[in-house]
DNA sequence: TCTGGGGTCCTAGGACCC
DNA sequence: TCTGGGGTCCTAGGACCC
């Protein structure tokens, strides 16, 4: 009883805000700076320095010049000519990600990672052990900094959504606590785009109704919102705008699909070359499925043409597979049915959906044998396109013929 | 030098079954 | 023989997030 009282008292001290959102600051850029101390304080961006690349992460110095994530590298250079580009190393980010998630789990088992660089924590059960949420936030930030050298920001609120908004506001390298009683005062003045799930398209639909702020959504009849953006999204946004968000921390999540896609440095029209890339993508998808002991029933193919129009075609099979060869055959079958009318392809991708626990048949496929069969294709394609491809998308390097240029960059986080 | 790659969720129509 | 309704699965596309 005494213990519970202590818990209640410390909880009261932080006014009912028991959800933390921890967000690493400029994560990829910060990790790269650990190895490149001479670049600290300079505008840098993590991206390949090639034609169709975009910025993955930008240092705050680069951001102050207008450089943003997802911005084409060409545009970033125009905005900031002295920008230093650093190649991405996804395995490194994955490593640091695991390390910081481990620190979070020392505080509470109720950790929900939502990407490599952010997580929600429910600390309501950790108060007696560690003190109020503000103290926990300080502890986490101090440990992350001491053990990884990386900065992070923490938002604290009564709900996930408020905690997430608070961490955005806390950046860089800060903490913000929004007491439960202050939720609506914090939320309502924000612009529509602050609502999680409102992007450019939804924003425009809502603005057409004359709505500008979160308060405007909160004060509108829910029917008005659902009529504009659909019943599911409308009801959700209306609740968020009113500070209602009862989503719990989800400690475990089931993967729904596994895929790979690649954008070519130059568009490719040739059928055989495209099939060859398809094989490589299928192989990588199969590899990852087997690694995770998963198999899937739907094989989906994605194509993007030169004009950026994007189509997808899929086929569902009876028995789940994790066999790269099978994935390739299904993807190629779907591909063969598409009438491209000779159009060149900018992007091609393969994804396997409808996943379930695998039976482990993947070993049946002899990868080396398959590659020998395709050797002739590999040579001719290498000769023509090998050097034209983007760095991380250099699919035609050939397993047995040339070492991968940058194995690190080719393998995004697997967990 | 226009627009990456990994995903999730939602909608809507058609097939099919009862 | 002018015509229902519910449920599930599949497919394609779109919006969104990091």
Residue A414: nearest nucleotide (C-alpha to C1'): B6
DSSP code at position A292: T
Interatomic CA distance for residues A150 and A179, integer angstroms: 27
Q: What are phi and psi of A350, to 5 degrees?
A: -130, 135
Q: Looking at residue A297, what is its pLDDT?
A: 98
Within A291-408, strands assigned E span 294-305, 310-321, 345-357
Q: Looking at residue A1, what is its pLDDT?
A: 42
Strand C within 7 A of A257 CB? no
Determine what percent of chain A is predicted with pLDDT higher than 90: 82
Protein A99 CA to nucleic acid C7 C1', in Å? 46
Q: Looking at residue A256, what is its pLDDT?
A: 97
User: If you measure CA to C1', which residue is closest to nucleotide C9?
Assistant: A316
Active site residues of A: 118
Of A63, A58, A62, the C-alpha closest to A47 is A58
Strand B within 7 A of A390 CB? yes
Strand C within 7 A of A92 CB? no
Strand C within 7 A of A115 CB? yes
Strand C within 7 A of A298 CB? yes
Cβ(A164)–Cβ(A155) below 8 Å: yes
Strand B-contacting residues in A 249-308, CB cut-off 7 angstroms: 255-263, 288, 307-308
Q: Find how far residue A56's CA is from the centre of its chain.
A: 10
Dihedral sign for Cα A107, A113, A115, A116, please: positive
Protein A52 CA to nucleic acid B3 C1', in Å? 8
Question: What is the value of pTM for the model shown?
Answer: 0.85
Element holding A79 (H helix, E strand): helix A73-79
Q: Looking at residue A15, what is its pLDDT?
A: 81
A372-410 residue pLDDT tens? 455 444 434 333 333 333 333 333 333 333 333 333 333
Report, as ranges of residue numbers, the positions in chain A whose pLDDT lies below 70: 1-14, 360-415
Strand C within 7 A of A413 CB? no
Reported as half-sphere exposure (CB side, CA atoms, 13 A), residue A319 has a value of 8
Q: Which positions of strand B lie within 7 Å of protein CB atoms?
A: 1-12
Q: Are strands A175-177 and A152-157 parallel, antiparallel or unpaired?
A: parallel
Strand B-contacting residues in A 215-234, CB cut-off 7 angstroms: 230-233
Strand B within 7 A of A52 CB? yes
Protein A223 CA to nucleic acid C4 C1', in Å? 29
């Amino acid at each position: 009883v005494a213990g519970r009282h202590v818990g209640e008292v410390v909880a009261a001290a932080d006014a009912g805000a028991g959800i933390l959102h921890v967000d690493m600051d400029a994560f990829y850029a910060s990790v790269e700076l650990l190895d490149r101390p001479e670049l600290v304080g300079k505008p840098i961006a993590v991206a390949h320095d090639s034609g169709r690349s975009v910025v993955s992460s930008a240092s705050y110095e680069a951001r102050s010049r207008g450089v943003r994530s997802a911005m084409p590298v060409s545009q970033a250079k125009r905005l900031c000519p002295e920008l230093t580009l650093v190649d991405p190393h996804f395995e490194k980010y994955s490593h640091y990600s695991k390390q910081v998630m481990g620190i979070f789990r020392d505080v509470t088992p109720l950790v929900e990672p939502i990407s490599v660089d952010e997580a929600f924590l429910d600390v309501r059960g950790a108060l007696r052990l560690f003190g109020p949420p503000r103290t926990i936030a300080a502890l986490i930030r101090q440990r992350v900094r001491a053990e990884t050298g990386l900065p992070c920001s923490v938002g604290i609120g009564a709900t996930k959504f408020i905690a997430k908004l608070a961490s955005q506001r806390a950046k860089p390298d800060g903490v913000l606590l929004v007491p439960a009683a202050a939720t609506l005062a914090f939320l309502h003045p924000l612009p529509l785009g602050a609502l999680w799930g409102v992007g450019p398209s939804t924003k425009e639909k809502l603005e057409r109704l004359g709505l500008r702020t979160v308060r405007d959504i909160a004060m509108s009849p829910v029917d008005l919102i659902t009529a504009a953006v659909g019943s599911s999204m409308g009801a959700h946004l209306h609740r968020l705008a009113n500070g209602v968000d009862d989503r719990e921390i989800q400690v475990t999540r089931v993967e729904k699909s596994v895929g790979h896609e690649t954008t070519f440095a130059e568009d490719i029209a040739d059928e055989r070359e495209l099939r060859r890339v398809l094989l490589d993508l299928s192989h990588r998808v199969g590899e990852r499925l087997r690694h995770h002991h998963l198999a899937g029933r739907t094989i989906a193919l994605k194509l993007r043409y030169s004009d950026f129009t994007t189509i997808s075609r899929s086929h569902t099979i009876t028995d789940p597979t994790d066999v790269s060869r099978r994935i390739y055959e299904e993807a190629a079958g779907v591909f063969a049915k598409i009438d491209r009318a000779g159009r060149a392809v900018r992007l091609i991708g393969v994804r396997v959906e409808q996943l379930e626990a695998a039976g482990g048949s993947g070993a049946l496929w002899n990868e080396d044998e398959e590659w020998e069969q395709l050797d002739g294709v590999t040579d001719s394609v290498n000769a023509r396109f090998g050097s034209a491809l983007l760095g991380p998308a250099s699919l035609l390097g050939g397993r047995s013929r040339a070492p991968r240029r940058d194995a690190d960059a080719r393998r995004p986080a697997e967990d």
